Amino acid sequence: MKNWKIPLMSVAAASSLLFINTPTSKVAAAVNQEVAQGTGAAVLDGTNYFGDMDPNTTLSIDFVMKIQNKDELEKFIKETTTPYSPHYRNYLNVNEFKAKYAPNPAYIHSVTSYLQGFGLKTDVHANNLTITATGTVAQLNKALNVELKYASFKGKRIHATKKHPTLPKVISDNILCVLGLNNYSNLESRAVKQPTVIDKKDVPAGPLSLTPQDLQNHYNVDPLYKKGATGAGQTLGIVTLAEFNTDDAYKFWDNMGIQTKPNRIKVTDVDGGSGWDGYEETTLDVQQSGAIAPQANINVYVGPNSDTGFVDAFSNAINDNVAKQISVSWGSSELSIDSYVQQQMEAPEYEETFNQLFMQAAAQGISMFASAGDAGAYDETRGDNKVFKLTADFPAASPYITAAGGTTLPFQFHSNSTGLDVKVNEERAWGWDYLHDYFKARNIDDVNLVNGGGGGFSTYFDTPDYQKGVSGVNKYTAVDEFKISSDLSSVTYKNPTTITGKDSGRNIPDVSMAADPYTGYYVYLSDPGQPGTNSGYAVYGGTSLVSPQLNGLTALINSAEHTQVGFWNPQIYRFAQENSSPFTPLNKAGDKNDNLFYSGTPGTLYNQATGLGIPDVAKLADKFGSPNK
């Protein structure tokens, strides 16, 4: 990566992943070996170190273990989604997964014994894939041969170590990476509040403030309710990095006339929980998913906004194995991750750390959903240091999670202030290029057009088997409509032209629903930590909405079909190729159906703006219930 500006603060776990090499022989067992911290000179030299940390300060770090028999696990997951396979929907529990695919308990014991020898307390996660070590700075310094210091980086106070840690080779076998010696990570919410750039005189017509009932009508959910489905017996899992007011959710459901199960929300504060920055995200996740499946329980896993917090929140949710559908609406661009890896500021194993957990979830029959991003094809354009380069969002890029993309619903308005008419005639890929003329007339900078459903190609993960051979995968039609500055920091809109091309890697997203904040959903909010104070409704969009909505829909489908559908992706790509597909591809080409770059291709089943398209939920439930229909 050359000269573009990467906002270091927007990437999780950037400096806290440590490479650990595998020993080559037992002779080397007692030899200490330097472990690359994953932090290059560019970061270390740019950090101001204030002095040694208080040796009595308590910290926790994670040792992430390598999954075992990965090829066998991939085969097993595929069989759980293949009708007539002996393993079809015959899932593993956590102990079965651990026995087959985690490191041997004797090896885990060797790692914990080493750490305990320095007075560190160890907590082995139920899957044997993570060991959390907790102790004082003095104990960690001695165990890892580091010098933890107070520091600051780009205005944020952190702790860090400039000295590379060393460990005995004998315990480094099967360790993927270590997380937590540095703590400057900062994942971002994928929620987008409806902006106020439309002049107050320009009153739009159309669904600008949607309710859960609008979703049910538009995507044909009602037949499931008529069958008596309510989500009863199901549990929704929400992985998040901010606290929320539980009372706001109950108030929202009550105001919407949705009869829900009482006391249905359980909050687990992982690693001590988090603060309130991004509480709108957690709030809308709970409200939207819970409205769709009103009788389901909701387990919310709140982790700190850090590498260990994010991993541990997923680990807790998946190891609990209670929620059979889990969503997340936080993420980071792969461009940031790729850049850090190439500059040795982050370990290459970062994405694999999460992917292992998502594979475990798939083996246990848990349906996982992640938001695909809200900057269209340019995911690294949030925050102050924008980078206008094509990239996808993570964790949506994992092949073992269902990536939720976004659309704009039909709406229109006549602008009295400019004399212009803005019209979206049919549901399309979410991309704000349709507002260009209006923004220009109002002197709103072109950079504000860069809002849309995330999509593109992963640079880390290969094209998964379930996408291969599907028309539109690894080929694309796109709209070239932005002139990007030489330093990739700004854009100007230009006359759009349609182009075609090829690419490779995991194609994102998988499926899409309404996410444009101009056709967004009501969210009920009160002040952070003060339920009922300054309370009221705001309208939000973003693929943050789609991920929890798919979560709720899965619980509804499971209860309607009396099944556990498990990992969606191999199944929905198969359904899309069958007669009576439950998806409507949004495959028109051009700037009336794009996510600011990727568009549709007529006659194909898939595109990188909206994936397989929009679902008919009743038909999808029927397919999941009887997959050979």
Alpha-carbon distance of 609 to 595, in angstroms, equals 5
Are residues 556 and 573 in contact, defined by beta-carbon separation less than 8 angstroms?
Answer: no
Q: What is the pLDDT of residues 132-185, one digit of tens each?
A: 999 999 999 999 988 898 877 656 777 877 777 777 887 877 888 888 887 756
The amino acid sitting at 288 is Q
> If you compute the radius of gyration of the chain from its CA atoms, what whole number of angstroms results?
24
Q: What is the pLDDT of residues 583-607, one digit of tens each?
A: 999 999 999 999 999 999 999 999 9
Instruction: Give the CA distances from residue 561 to residues 230, 292, 293, 557, in Å, rounded to whole numbers and listed in that order.
Output: 11, 16, 14, 6
Contacts of 45-50 spanning 24+ positions with Cβ under 8 A: 46/153, 46/154, 47/151, 47/152, 47/153, 47/158, 47/160, 47/162, 48/151, 48/152, 48/153, 49/149, 49/150, 49/151, 49/160, 49/162, 50/149, 50/150, 50/151, 50/152
Kind and range of the H or E run holding 402? strand 402-408
**C-alpha of 410 from chain center:** 27
Per-residue pLDDT at 324 exceeds 50: yes
Alpha-carbon distance of 148 to 160, in angstroms, equals 6
Q: What is the pLDDT of residues 328-364, one digit of tens each?
A: 999 989 988 776 566 444 567 889 999 999 999 999 9
Q: How many CA atoms lie within 13 A of 598 on its CB side?
A: 38
Q: Are strands 456-457 and 507-508 parallel, antiparallel or unpaired?
A: antiparallel
Alpha-carbon distance of 510 to 611, in angstroms, equals 4
Q: Are strands 58-65 and 175-179 parallel, antiparallel or unpaired?
A: antiparallel
DSSP state of 546: H
Alpha-carbon distance of 594 to 587, in angstroms, equals 10
Helix (H, G, I), strand (E, B) or coil at 284: helix
Length of the chain: 629
pLDDT, average across residues 95-105? 97
> Which residues are within 8 A (CB) of 395 and not within 5 positions of it... i.e. 6 or more apart?
328, 331, 351, 354, 358, 370, 401
- Average pLDDT value over all residues in the chain: 88
544-560: burial string, b at 16+ Cβ within 10 Å, e else: bbbbbbbbbbbbbbbbb
Per-residue pLDDT at 404 exceeds 80: yes
Alpha-carbon distance of 372 to 394, in angstroms, equals 8
Q: What is the pLDDT of residue 23?
A: 33
pLDDT, average across residues 187-204? 66
> Which residues are within 8 A (CB) of 408 and not within 5 positions of it... i.e. 6 or more apart?
424, 427, 428, 429, 430, 431, 434, 514, 515, 516, 518, 519
Contacts of 490-494 spanning 24+ positions with Cβ under 8 A: 490/386, 490/388, 490/447, 491/388, 491/446, 491/447, 491/449, 491/450, 492/446, 493/433, 493/436, 493/440, 493/446, 493/449
Kind and range of the H or E run holding 308? helix 307-320
Q: What is the pLDDT of residues 491-528, one digit of tens each?
A: 999 999 999 999 999 999 999 999 999 999 999 999 99
- Between 96-105, 194-203, 217-226, 532-541, the lowest mean confidence (pLDDT) is in 194-203
Q: How many CB atoms lie within 10 A of CB 482?
A: 23
The torsion angle over the Cα atoms of residues 141, 145, 148 and 153, rounded to 10 degrees, is -150
In the structure encoding, which two tokens stand for residue 72, read together? 């066998």
Per-residue pLDDT at 31 exceeds 80: no
Q: Are strands 421-424 and 411-414 parallel, antiparallel or unpaired?
A: antiparallel
Per-residue pLDDT at 460 exceeds 70: yes
Q: Sort 267 into a burial class: Cβ within 10 Å, 0-12 / 13-18 / 19+.
A: middle
Residue 37 pLDDT level (bands cut at 50, 70, 90): very low
Helices (H), 327-424: 334-342, 350-363
Q: Which of 165, 216, 187, 145 is nearest to 308 (CA)?
A: 187
In the structure encoding, which two tokens stand for residue 299, read together? 């387990």
- β partners of residue 314: none
- Between 24-33, 55-64, 118-127, 470-479, the lowest mean confidence (pLDDT) is in 24-33
Alpha-carbon distance of 279 to 529, in angstroms, equals 10
Sheet holding 475-484, edge to edge: 491-502, 475-484, 598-599
Q: What is the pLDDT of residues 507-517, one digit of tens each?
A: 999 999 999 99
Q: Which of 460, 477, 328, 341 is nearest to 36 (CA)?
A: 341
